[in-house]
Chain A
Amino acid sequence: QQQVRQSPQSLTVWEGETAILNCSYEDSTFDYFPWYHQFPGESPALLIAIRPVSNKKEDGRFTIFFNKREKKFSLHIADSQPGDSATYFCAASTGGNYKYVFGAGTRLKVIA
């Protein structure tokens, strides 16, 4: 029940395109949904996060779309750049116990 599913496993886009990464969950008690990116040899770094009071959160080129009814959320990276090439992880946590449940990751490659 405490699972977060992430797709696709890998994604290749051209520079300038919008990359779309998807996640879904089952546990309706989850109330915080962050996205992290991780570059090779580095640790995960927080990119953007959303709480279910909103269905959209934007930060520059990065946007989270959240669908509470379908228990899905996605990360859209607009105008993708080669420097965005990394592994992206979605996660979820529940208020009161803040541990993260992570998705399996999406390896994004942006081709110039």
Chain B
Amino acid sequence: NAGVIQTPRHKVTGKGQEATLWCEPISGHSAVFWYRQTIVQGLEFLTYFRNQAPIDDSGMPKERFSAQMPNQSHSTLKIQSTQPQDSAVYLCASSKTGGGYEQYFGPGTRLTVL
């Protein structure tokens, strides 16, 4: 069974450009989570979907970040007008629902904003 797939693995953007990050959850998992990891802030929750519905986006910076899950096989995180402080590793995780707490992380996308 393939694990969580994230693409691209690395992305470099210029300040002010848009970045779209992709995540494919483990087959059969119906919850998808996005986290961000930096040296300074550690692992931060951004947003999460259950059965494709947005459940909690309390960690998302409101103005430039958005996430979608158009079908059960992929989710996207879009960052508009990227800023240097958005540089981080963006991690996607998936889990089963119905009491399945275990989250399995993808390899991450390292975003560098110049």
Contacts and interface: CB of A to CB of B under 8 A. Distances in A.
Interface of A: 32, 34, 36, 42-46, 49, 89, 91, 93, 95, 97-105
Contacts, number: 53
Contact of B103 (A42, A98, A103, A105): A98
Interface stretch (B13-21, B41-49, B62-70, B72-80): B41-49
Given A43-B105, A89-B43, A99-B48, 16 more contacts: A34-B101, A34-B102, A43-B108, A44-B43, A44-B91, A45-B105, A46-B102, A46-B103, A95-B101, A98-B97, A98-B101, A99-B45, A99-B56, A100-B103, A101-B45, A104-B42
B114 interface: no
B88 to A, nearest CB: 13
Interface of B: 31, 33, 35, 42-45, 48, 55-56, 59, 91, 95, 97, 99, 101-108
A103 B44 CA distance: 10
A32 B101 contact: yes
Contacts of A89: 43
